[in-house]
């Protein structure tokens, strides 16, 4: 597999949509900060 450039991929421990509200707000804040930096 390595010779062909393949790799083993393992699943995530939890589904991303299973996140609590606090985690969702934090990730949205990170995204908005990154977008602000791109516009400067």
Cβ atoms within 10 Å, residue 19: 13
pLDDT at 25: 79
The two structure tokens encoding residue 39: 């516009």
What local confidence, expressed as pLDDT, does residue 28 receive?
Answer: 75
pLDDT in tens, 5-40: 888 877 777 766 676 777 777 777 776 666 666 665
Residue 38: the pLDDT is: 65
pTM beyond 0.85, yes or no: no
Q: What distance in Å separates the CA atoms of residue 25 and residue 23, rounded to the nearest whole number? A: 5
Q: What is the pLDDT of residue 33?
A: 66
> CA 35 from chain center: how many Å?
15
Q: How many Å apart are CA 21 and CA 29, to the nearest integer?
A: 12
């Amino acid at each position: 597999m390595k010779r062909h450039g393949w790799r083993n991929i393992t699943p995530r421990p939890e589904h991303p949509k299973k996140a609590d509200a606090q985690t969702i707000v934090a990730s949205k804040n990170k995204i908005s900060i990154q977008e602000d930096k791109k516009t400067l």
